[in-house]
Amino acid sequence: MRIILMGPPGAGKGTQAKIIAGRFGIPAVSTGDIFRANVSQGTPLGVEAKRYMDAGDYVPDEVTNAMVRDRICQDDAKGGFLLDGYPRTVAQVAELDTMLADTGAALDAVVVLTVNDEELVQRLLNRAHVEGRTDDTEEVVRHRQDVYNEQTEPLLAVYDERGLLVRVDGIGTVDEVSARVFEALHASPDSAAI
Ligand code: B4P
């Protein structure tokens, strides 16, 4: 099972990634989480990523691609994985295609969570209170939405043409959204396979 989870900032990718990956018994690979772990440990990758993340910009493709390649080669990802927040650019799609071709693997589905802009801003400002993330100020959030619309939204058409795109309404409780995801993937709540 190889799934990509896409959606604008604050759509609930990280929230749903853990639930979906848990159900299918595959690792959730969240580029945002890996960057934040590196930032908090003060690694060279973290120092570089922080500059971009704090401004609401994407971390450069070379850095992100190398990090994902390294992660999905690990043993626990050999049988499948869920990518949370990757790919986000055309160059990342091309690199992921190469990574998959190198291992003879294929994607099963690309799930996109849809949520309107105002709800997204409210969620992220709320998260700012709870988690204190430095990229959750209103100005940076709005910039992140622009970056998403310019660089990532066009990728949906790419995966749609490949017949992989599954759109899921991301408004509702966390449980309601996960139930919709499983239904869209034709997986019963206690099923471990599509
Ligand atoms: P991410 O960590 O991916 O963060 P995100 O898009 O802001 O959040 P997500 O959609 O995961 O929302 P969440 O579940 O937390 O990226 C952060 C940064 O990392 C990027 O801006 C970029 O700089 C860098 N980065 C990451 N990947 C990259 C890549 N591939 N290339 C380059 N740069 C990259 O949910 C948001 C909030 O809503 C939470 O508070 C949650 O509790 C709440 N919520 C979730 N579901 C809800 C629901 N159903 N109802 C109400 N609230 C809900």
| Share of the chain residues as helix, strand and coil, in percent rounded to the nearest 5 | 60, 10, 30
pTM over 0.85: yes
User: Residues 58-76: pLDDT tens digits?
Assistant: 999 999 999 999 999 999 9
pLDDT at 111 over 50: yes
56 Cα nearest atom in ligand 1: 21
User: Residues 112-161: pLDDT tens digits?
Assistant: 999 999 999 999 999 999 999 889 999 999 999 999 999 999 999 999 99
- pLDDT category, 187, cuts 50, 70, 90? low
60 Cα nearest atom in ligand 1: 32
For residue 83, the cross-strand partners are 4, 29
| Ligand 1 and 37: CB distance under 6 A | no
Q: Is residue 87 reached through a cis peptide bond, with omega within 30 degrees of 0 on the bond before it?
A: yes
